[in-house]
Amino acid sequence: MLWHALTLQLGYNATLVTLGAMLLGVAAGVTGTFLFLRKRALVSDAISHATLPGVGIAFIIMVVLGGDGRSLIGLMLGSAASAWIGLLCIGFLTRRTRLAEDAAIGAVLSVFFGIGIVFLTYIQTMSEGRQAGLEGFLLGSTAGMLYSDAVIIAVGGAAVLLAVIAFRRPLSAIAFDPEFAASSGLNVPRLDLIMMGLVMAITVVGLKIVGLILIVALLIIPPVTARFWSERVTGVLWVAGVVGGVAGYVGAALSAIAPALPTGPVIVLVLFAMFALSLLFAPARGVLAAVLKHLSFQKRVHVRQGLLALAQGQPIYEKLTLRLLQRSGLARADGVPTPDGKARAAKALRDERRWQMARSREEFALAATFYDGLTEIEGVLTSDQISELDRLIGAPQGVPV
Amino acid sequence: MMGEEFVALSLTPILIGTLAAIACALPGNFLLLRRQALIGDAISHVVLPGIVVAFLITGVVSAVPMMLGAAGAAVVAVVMIEAIRRLGKIEPGAAMGVTFTAMFAGGVLLLEQSDTSTVHLDVEHALFGNLESLIWLDATGWASLWDMEALAYLPVELPRLGAVLFVVILFTWIYWRPLKISTFDEGFAQSVGIRTGALGFALVIVAALAAVAAFDAVGSIIVIAMFICPPAAARLMTNSLSVQVAWSVLFATLSAVLGYVFAGYGRLWFGAENSVSAAGMIAAVSGLILALTAVFGPHRARSGAPAEG
């Protein structure tokens, strides 16, 4: 069953929805990256909650006009209109009053959602509304989806993806460095508006599949995940697109195989699994990589300090140091250096003395800034400079015979 | 409307709504000024998995384990946001977005997978609450307020929210000065010996307590709206923190009372067939108040900045 779902053999509707969810996921991942880099990730949460009154009003209008009110395209238009009004409210509150953007986001989110709920409960009391299934827009549902709805979602997902691809260059310019983008002639406010328009389009297309409460995850989690894998804008965009696409595809396919697996939550949990794996195992930025880096640094410090202690004939009390020296064959278990250890220890002490001399002389001032107790002096100074240092230090003094 | 029927059917929901609104609005004032306004949003989302897990463990819908589960989930969420922020070097907004969507999705999935068809526990209930059902059937009129026997059958949410509100007020009152100082000038607060980190965490815990208690009674929409809208509207009315807190309490009360009345009696006035969601209406009224203050509030503009356009 799972294999059938993943290979798109569950019927025409399920296939269309799965492909639509994948396209939507890619588009959301890429658009979300722009939002994330602009540090405005949570605006999308307000936009998605603000769609609910529009869904309700559109339903009521369609019923009043004599339709059955369930036309997906009509509901999508309504949700887009009310999301746009919500966006304008956030803009008004942040620009014209002294409220910060997070307060404006929270206010718009909760008030619009509340108004939407008022409409939904009103619709439930209308005779036409009992079977409307508008609650499906809260958490998304693909069960019992009409063929025409599946087509709208697939086409909508593809259209949003094309729009994102068309605007990728100017959008990455403003996401990365808005001042530079403005000085090179880009209209930053208008591009911001386009970005918000794309976010809105994704929300509206995703309403039916993912639901309005969780659609924000499709915009936030892919870029956050991608950030672990790349330090470059293009890299983050690609990874975010792939992560979003995979989650949309796998999530929609998984939820098609059982009735108690709502699409939205499944897609979000697939996304979160990818995020958690990246957080733990990504090279360079992941937790595991950080732990390994820390351990290797700790080891180098211990070995270095151990060698200096050996060279000066001091006993080593730190167990970890002793163990590390022993494992590298530099000392025995009782702390007595091996011949190899003796040579390395002498070298370490000599290098330390060289660094000391270098740091006290003006002509080595630049090189001396590299001193951190671990950097090898040969990596910083030429052999000529090192012999110059040795000459300044002079012959060994006060060696007991 | 003001007689026996009112006491039995409307008095307790209005009181519960008002207590919940004030309990959320009080910590909301400080969260707003600390630019942490969306904490309320995050907490109200993550409460769902906590409640579901508590239900799965105990097998009954009862208040105490659910409150514990919700509080536990709130703490898990706060820790997870901090961990993602620190370990991944991710900005706080995005870390919050990752956490609350994932936990909410987990809660919904658990709920759908487990057999909760026999009990009253579903996502809609968690979102909208069920303020209208918290009626006091034993009341026969205003005299019941002095009748110990009838008082014993008050909806249990009322005394519980009263206790939580008392804790919230106590916290705000005892820590008023440190809260005020650390909210406006964290560096100065540290230099006079206030442990700002611990105080900030305590504030979030108190907010979570208020959110969980209110959530149980009235659903998460009211929680989010009351954390933000009354304090934001109050902020546009005054420059003084104590006056702002007073305004926010007034606005929260107004929203709760008017919202409930509009929702419940709206059908009589507007000719609708049935009443609409009180929780939604309360949020809508608080938004209306915020809109009015955003247009007419005496301190709506940033101080010193010229009014734009």
Contact between B116 and B123 under an 8 Å Cβ cutoff? The reply is no
Interchain contact B300–A (C-beta under 8 A) = yes
Q: Print the domain residue range for A233.
A: 2-265
ipTM of this complex: 0.89
Residue B271 has pLDDT above 60, yes or no: no
Are residue A254 and residue A293 in the same domain, yes or no?
no
Residues 6+ apart with CB under 8 A from A227: A36, A236, A285, B88, B90
Interchain contact B76–A (C-beta under 8 A) = no
Q: Sign (positive/negative) of CA torsion A67, A69, A74, A79?
A: positive
Residue to test with chain A: of B108, B226, B293, most A Cβ within 10 A = B108
From A95, A102, A217, residue closest to B35, measured CB to CB: A102
Are residue A320 and residue A212 in the same domain, yes or no?
no
Whole-angstrom distance, CA of residue A15 vs CA of residue A252:
9
> Does residue A399 fall inside a structural domain?
no
Are residue A35 and residue A176 in the same domain, yes or no?
yes
From B109, B224, B272, residue closest to A109, measured CB to CB: B224
Residue B4 has pLDDT above 70, yes or no: no
Interchain contact B25–A (C-beta under 8 A) = no
CATH code of the domain containing A92: 1.10.3470.10
> Does residue A398 fall inside a structural domain?
no
> Does residue A275 fall inside a structural domain?
no
Q: Which domains does chain B have, with CATH numbers?
A: 4-150+175-296 (1.10.3470.10)
Distance from CA of B17 to the nearest CA of A (A): 15
Closest CA to B92 of B80, B75, B107: B80
B255 token code pair: 């929203």
> Does residue A279 fall inside a structural domain?
no
Closest CA to B45 of B88, B105, B2: B105
Overall average pLDDT of the A238-243 stretch? 94
Chain A residue with the nearest C-alpha to that of B80:
A276
Contact between A275 and A19 under an 8 Å Cβ cutoff? The reply is no
From B32, B84, B283, residue closest to A113, measured CB to CB: B283
Distance from CA of A46 to the nearest CA of B (A): 11
A168-204 pLDDT per residue, tens: 888 888 877 888 888 988 888 888 888 899 999 999 8
Contact between A94 and A101 under an 8 Å Cβ cutoff? The reply is yes
Strand partners, A337: A331
> Does residue A273 fall inside a structural domain?
no
Are residue A336 and residue A214 in the same domain, yes or no?
no
Contact A122 B276 (CB under 8 A): yes
Distance from CA of B90 to the nearest CA of A (A): 7
Predicted local distance difference test score (pLDDT) of residue A127: 66
Interchain contact B52–A (C-beta under 8 A) = no
Are residue A75 and residue A214 in the same domain, yes or no?
yes
Last residue of a domain, one of A234, A265, A296: A265
B143-201 pLDDT per residue, tens: 667 676 777 777 777 888 899 999 999 999 999 999 999 888 888 888 888 888 888 88
A248 token code pair: 């949309």
Last residue of a domain, one of A216, A232, A265: A265
A150-173 pLDDT per residue, tens: 888 888 888 988 998 898 888 888
Are residue A258 and residue A345 in the same domain, yes or no?
no
Q: Is B122 exposed, middle or buried (0-12, 13-18, 19+ CB in 10 A)?
A: middle
Are residue A253 and residue A340 in the same domain, yes or no?
no
Are residue A238 and residue A329 in the same domain, yes or no?
no
> Does residue A14 fall inside a structural domain?
yes
Residue B133 has pLDDT above 90, yes or no: no
Are residue A117 and residue A80 in the same domain, yes or no?
yes
What is the count of structural domains for chain A?
2
Closest CA to A294 of B193, B39, B285, A286: A286
> Does residue A271 fall inside a structural domain?
no
What are the C-alpha distances in Å from A333 to residues A303, A328, A329? 14, 12, 10
Residues of A in contact with B274 (CB under 8 A): 125
Question: Would you tell me the crossing angle of helices B220-235 and B241-270 to the nearest 10 degrees?
Answer: 130
By residue count, chain A amounts to 401
Are residue A84 and residue A23 in the same domain, yes or no?
yes
> Does residue A401 fall inside a structural domain?
no
Overall average pLDDT of the B194-223 stretch? 84
Are residue A236 and residue A369 in the same domain, yes or no?
no
Distance from CA of A257 to the nearest CA of B (A): 14
What are the C-alpha distances in Å from A84 to residues A76, A81, A95? 12, 5, 16
Interchain contact B294–A (C-beta under 8 A) = yes
Report long-range pairs for B145-148 (Cβ below 8 Å, ≥24 apart): B145/B7
Residue A103 or A140, more confident: A103
Are residue A253 and residue A299 in the same domain, yes or no?
no
Whole-angstrom distance, CA of residue B264 vs CA of residue A256:
40
The structure's pTM equals 0.84
Contact B276 A109 (CB under 8 A): no
